[in-house]
Amino acid sequence: MLSVKEAIQHMLKSVHPVTESETLSIDAGVDRILAQDVLSTVDIPAYDNSAMDGFALHLTEPNQTGFTVVGQALAGHPFQGQLVPGQAIRIMTGAQVPQGANAVVPIENTEQDKEGEQVRLFNPAQLHAHIRKRGEELVCGATVFSTGHQLTPVDIGLLASLGVAKIDVFKRLQVALFSTGDELVLPGQTRRPDQIYDSNRFVLHAMLERAGFSVLNLGLIPDNKQEIADAFMQASTQADAIICSGGVSVGDADYTKQVIDAHGDVGFWKVAMKPGKPFAFGKVNGSWFFGLPGNPVSATITLQQLALPALYQLAGRRSVEPLEIVVTAGETLKKRPGRADFQRGILRTENGITQVFSAGNQGSGMLSSVAKANCLILLDAEQGTLERGELVRVQVLEKPFR
C-alpha cells in the first residue's frame, strides 16, 4: 500500500499541465488559471489622493492652525493650481491632492468661517497625513499575478483596477464523470427496496465545477465489464480526465480495475488512508483515470485529497497548500494505528480558544458527517487514539469542498 504522500507524488510526477490557452474578458475569469504573468502597467494609486473628506494644506510651520481656503477638489474634479504656504483647499475622499499640498486634515478636526475663506484646525496637522501616495499599493512593472494562479472574485477586481480587460488563461480542463453500480437509481426515480440513490455523482460534479473544471456528466454505468469498458473508451475521446466512483475494490462486481488493466494502464490502486484505500490512478487512451471508492465519504475525500492535486496540476494551476492549523482536541478522537485518517471534525471557538470535535459517526458511507464538518482532522498513519487536550492538525475545509 502507498502512503498518501507517495500516491500524490506518483500522480504529480505523471501528469503534465495542459498548454493550450485562450483569451478571455475578465468578467469570465473567475476560477480560471492564468497562462501568463500579469504585470501592472500603471501605478496604484495612479495619483496622490485624499484618504478623507477634509482639507488639503500646504504646511510649513508645524504648529500652524489657520489656513486660507482657495478652492476645492472632488473625486474626478481636481483643483487646478498649486498651493503656496498657508493655503488650503476643501478636498473629498479620492480627489487628487494638488501640487504644494503636503497634508490632509479630516473635516471633523476643522472649522471654517462663515464665508468659507478661512479654516482653523483644532489640532496641528501631521505632515503627509491622510494622503494616499501614488504607487503605494503597486508600482508600474510589478508582478501582480504569476502564471498558474487561479483567479478569485477579488483578483478579478484587482485586474479591473489595473485597467486589464482581457487575460490569457489555460483551457478549461474537461473532466468526464461516471457512477458505477447496479444498486443505483437517480433521485426522483422509483426505488426498489434494495436500491439506493446515486449521490456521488451529484457531490463530485459540484466539487469539480467549483474547482474550475468543465464536467462531462456521463451518468450511471451498470456493473458490467463491457459497458464500463465502452463508457471509458468513449469518455477518453472527449475528456482530459475520467473520474468514476464505485467498483474499484476487490468485490465480485468491482470491474473498474480489470477494465483499466485490460484497456489502459493502472498506476496504483491502494492508498493507506481512511476513508479511502481503494483508489485507482491510471490512463485510458490519452485520458488520465481516477477511480474513487463508492462509499460517499471516501469518494469525496479521495477526490479532494488525492485526485484534486493531480487535476489542478493537469489544469496548469501552481500547487497551493491547503490551510492547516494545529488546535487542541476537545474530546477523545478514536483511531487505530495503520492508515492515515481524515476524520470529519468541527472547529469551535469559545472564549477565544479553538478546539476540534468529532463531527459524529465516522462511517465512510455517512455523507451527513461531511455535511456537518468544517474541517478534516489529520491523523498520521502511526497515530493511535488521541486524548482530549492533545494537539492535532486540522485542515480547514474550503472550496471546492464546501
Question: Residues in the site for Mg ion, rule: CB under 5 A?
Answer: 181, 246-247, 294
In the complex, minimum distance from the CB of residue 369 to ligand AMP, in angstroms, rounded to a whole number: 14
Asked if 245 interacts with ligand AMP (CB under 6 A), we say yes
Report the relative pairing of strands 174-180 and 214-221 from DSSP bridges: parallel
Spell out where 212-323 has E strands. 214-221, 241-245, 264-270, 273-274, 278-284, 287-292
The torsion angles phi and psi of 45, rounded to 5 degrees, stand at -65, 160
Looking at 40-48, 167-175, 246-254, 315-323, which segment touches ligand AMP (CB under 6 A)? 246-254
Asked if 236 interacts with ligand AMP (CB under 6 A), we say no
Asked if 28 interacts with ligand AMP (CB under 6 A), we say no
Q: Which of residues 251-270 bind ligand AMP (CB under 6 A)?
A: 251, 254
Contact 392, 340 (CB under 8 A): no
275 binds, among ligand AMP, Mg ion, none (CB under 5 to 8 A by kind): none
In the complex, minimum distance from the CB of residue 223 to Mg ion, in angstroms, rounded to a whole number: 6
Looking at the Cβ atoms of 150 and 180, the one nearer to ligand AMP is 180
Give residue number: closest CB to ligand AMP.
294
CA–CA gap between residue 7 and residue 5 (Å, rounded)? 5
Considering only 43, 183, 209, 230, the residue that binds ligand AMP (CB under 6 A) is: 183
In the complex, minimum distance from the CB of residue 203 to ligand AMP, in angstroms, rounded to a whole number: 9
Looking at 45-53, 76-84, 226-234, 287-295, which segment touches ligand AMP (CB under 6 A)? 287-295
**From residue 119, how far is each of 40, 85, 94 by CA, in Å?**
39, 14, 21
**Grid cell listed for 45:** 494609486
Asked if 374 interacts with ligand AMP (CB under 6 A), we say no
Contact 109, 123 (CB under 8 A): yes
- Give the N- to C-terminal CA distance of the chain in Å, as an integer: 29
Looking at the Cβ atoms of 87 and 245, the one nearer to Mg ion is 245
CA–CA gap between residue 43 and residue 46 (Å, rounded)? 5
Considering only 295, 302, 313, 395, the residue that binds ligand AMP (CB under 6 A) is: 295
Residues 125-147 as b or e (16 or more Cβ within 10 Å = b) = beeebbbbebbeebeeeeebbeb
Asked if 179 interacts with ligand AMP (CB under 6 A), we say yes
Judged by the rule CB under 6 A, the positions of this chain that interact with ligand AMP are 179, 181, 183-184, 196, 198-201, 245-249, 251, 254, 293-296, 365
